[in-house]
């Protein structure tokens, strides 16, 4: 039963060449895999989502000229420390994103805002853990444009266990699978409401800018 549930959660797409690779926050292996794809030429740019427990680890990726996220995070309350780090042509841009109770929703909602400012992006590969992909798909279908080509990629041979220092890391084993299904149920109930609120917010901002 667990194997069937795990394979259902882990459905990924074939790797394709895209305009942007987006890496969801949490495990360092996600960022390492995204960088490997970038180096193979799968995309010309990468957007990293970096949560508060990952800030010190970001420098371990070995990217030359990487921003000092520890310094940037100083003065920001710990629960609000979440950043998008954009990497292209050896250059970096850092932007703080809103942090809400539902972390994956916060990331995809912020991604939708980011893509709206970059209309040249027409295709996107999202990198995350296998059992996380179904929930990521739910968020993307609700919050991203249907015109955007999206591919969902699992980090291969990923081995993870929650650490005391990072409670946001995914749970593993049978407990992790069923915990993920509880999250999916919550997201499925909440996302339609959030989508309506997001469209209302977009229309309000558009009218104020006229």
**pLDDT recorded at residue 204:** 67
What are 56's two structure tokens? 């010190």
24-42 pLDDT tens trace:
998 999 999 999 999 999 9
Q: What average pLDDT does the segment 82-107 reach?
A: 93
Q: CB under 8 Å to 12, separation ≥6 — which residues?
A: 130, 133, 152, 153, 154
**pLDDT recorded at residue 4:** 47
Alpha-carbon distance of 131 to 210, in angstroms, equals 43
Pairing status of strand 149-154 against strand 123-128? parallel
Query: 3-class DSSP state for residue 149?
Result: strand
- What is the percent of the chain with per-residue pLDDT over 90, rounded to a whole number? 66
Cα–Cα–Cα angle for 71, 168, 104, nearest 5°? 90
133-178 pLDDT tens trace:
999 999 999 999 999 999 999 999 765 444 444 555 665 556 667 7
Q: What average pLDDT does the segment 16-27 reach?
A: 95
**pLDDT recorded at residue 9:** 53
- CA nearest to 138, candidates 194, 187, 90: 187
Average pLDDT value for the chain:
86
Higher-confidence position of 202 and 39: 39
52-84 pLDDT tens trace:
999 999 999 999 999 999 999 999 999 999 999
210, pLDDT greater than 80: no
Cα–Cα–Cα angle for 34, 7, 189, nearest 5°? 85
pTM for the model: 0.84
Alpha-carbon distance of 130 to 162, in angstroms, equals 15
- CA nearest to 70, candidates 51, 53, 56, 87: 56
For residue 200, name the pLDDT band (cuts at 50, 70, 90).
Answer: confident
**pLDDT recorded at residue 169:** 61
Alpha-carbon distance of 85 to 144, in angstroms, equals 19
Does residue 157 come out as left (phi exceeding 0), alpha (psi in the -120 to 50 range) or beta?
Answer: left
How many other CB atoms are found less than 10 A from the CB of residue 208? Answer: 7
Alpha-carbon distance of 36 to 174, in angstroms, equals 30
Secondary structure of the chain: what % helix, strand, coil (to 5)? 45, 15, 35
């Amino acid at each position: 039963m667990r194997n069937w549930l795990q394979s259902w959660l882990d459905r990924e797409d074939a790797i394709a060449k895209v305009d942007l690779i987006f890496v969801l926050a949490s495990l360092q292996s996600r960022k390492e895999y995204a960088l490997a794809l970038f180096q193979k030429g799968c995309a010309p740019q990468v957007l990293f989502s970096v949560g508060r427990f990952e800030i010190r680890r970001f420098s371990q990726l070995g990217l030359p000229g990487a921003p000092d996220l520890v310094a940037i995070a100083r003065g920001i309350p710990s629960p609000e420390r979440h950043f998008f780090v954009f990497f292209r042509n050896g250059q970096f841009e850092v932007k703080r994103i809103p942090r809400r109770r539902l972390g994956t929703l916060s990331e995809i909602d912020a991604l939708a805002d980011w893509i709206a400012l970059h209309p040249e992006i027409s295709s996107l590969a999202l990198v995350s853990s296998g059992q996380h992909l179904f929930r990521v798909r739910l968020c993307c279908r609700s919050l991203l444009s249907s015109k955007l080509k999206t591919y969902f990629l699992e980090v291969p041979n990923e081995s993870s266990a929650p650490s005391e220092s990072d409670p946001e890391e995914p749970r593993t084993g049978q407990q992790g699978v069923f915990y993920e299904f509880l999250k999916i149920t919550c997201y499925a109930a909440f996302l339609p409401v959030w989508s309506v609120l997001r469209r209302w917010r977009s229309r309000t901002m558009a009218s104020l800018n006229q």
